[in-house]
Every structure is written in structure tokens, then in C-alpha cells.
Amino acid sequence: MKQRLIHSGRELDILEAIITRAAASTATRLAEHLQQANALAALAQVKFSPTGCDPLELDRPLNFVEQLNQSFTYLASIEAARWLLERHPDHVPLQLNLGTSPGSDIASLDGAIAAEVFAATHPDSNDKYGRIFKRYAPPLHLIAMCST
């Protein structure tokens, strides 16, 4: 489980730096795989072999696709936590539940904040908004952050 107690933006900066370091390491290995003569073999290496690593545990191998998905979900959680720290400093610390950790993706220890976070190619992707609305009763404050 990847649970982190967050008191400040500095702690979020550290998490982001770890994810960035993991991405740089994987990008180097990825470039080597993609230079193979056989394009399908290169893509198979990327999909099925541990070309990547866990975004927060650099010594734990993962396939690239899993690292890609986890990295951007974690980065979305970091940005959401940053937003919450700025707007609700009276509810610090925040518990970040990254990966498959149980509970809300972000929650304040005082119970005032519970947030679900996801990274998608489009806000309507996989009806994510609809599923979140069905799961939580009002009042629900929905903040969308998309990046291209």
C-alpha cells in the first residue's frame, strides 16, 4: 500500500521528483527497446517485459504500461492534494492513498475532505464522472483537471 500523510507542498514536490526520476530511468530503457529492428518485438518488450519501474519504488520492476498509468494517476493525486492544501489549510494533514490503497484517494484526517482522483485522456472516458456521482451522495464538489 502506498499511503502518504501530507502536511505541505514540499512533501508533494518530493513525491513528484521521485516519479520524475522513475520516468527518466524508464525513458532510457524504452529508447533502447524501441531501436530494435522488429517493431512488433519492440512493442512486445514494452508491453510484457519489466521495461519500467514502480513510480515510487524505483527498484521494483513493472511493465511500461503499468508505470505509465500509475505515474499519471499519482501526478493527478499530487496536483489535487496541492489544490486542497492551498484552499483548505485548516484540514491538514491529508492522507494520500495511492495505487490500490483502500479508501478515498485523498482524505483529511479530520474527515472533512474525501476526494477521488483519476487520470484519463478525456473527462468522459469510461464514464468515470458518472460512476463517481453514483458512489457519493451530495454535497459533492467536482473539480476537473485535464492536460494534453
For 66-86, what is the mean pLDDT? 94
Structure confidence at residue 148 (pLDDT): 39
Does position 78 have pLDDT exceeding 60, yes or no? yes
Do β-strands 2-6 and 52-53 pair in parallel, antiparallel, or remain unpaired? unpaired
Tell me the C-alpha distance between 115 and 103, whole Å: 10
5-21 tens-digit pLDDT: 999 999 999 999 999 99
CA separation (Å) from 39 to 11, 43, 85, 127? 40, 6, 45, 33
Terminal C-alpha separation, the chain: 29
Does position 133 have pLDDT exceeding 80, yes or no? no
Contact 113, 88 (CB under 8 A): yes
On average, the pLDDT of the chain sits at 84
For the chain, strand residue ranges (E) read 2-6, 52-53, 61-62, 94-98, 106-108, 114-115
Q: How many Cα neighbours within 13 Å face the side chain of 144?
A: 11
Give the confidence band of 146 by pLDDT, cuts at 50, 70, 90: very low
88-132 tens-digit pLDDT: 999 999 999 998 777 889 999 999 998 888 887 776 666 665 665
pTM of the model: 0.83
Structure confidence at residue 125 (pLDDT): 67
CA separation (Å) from 142 to 15, 33, 45, 100? 24, 40, 38, 22
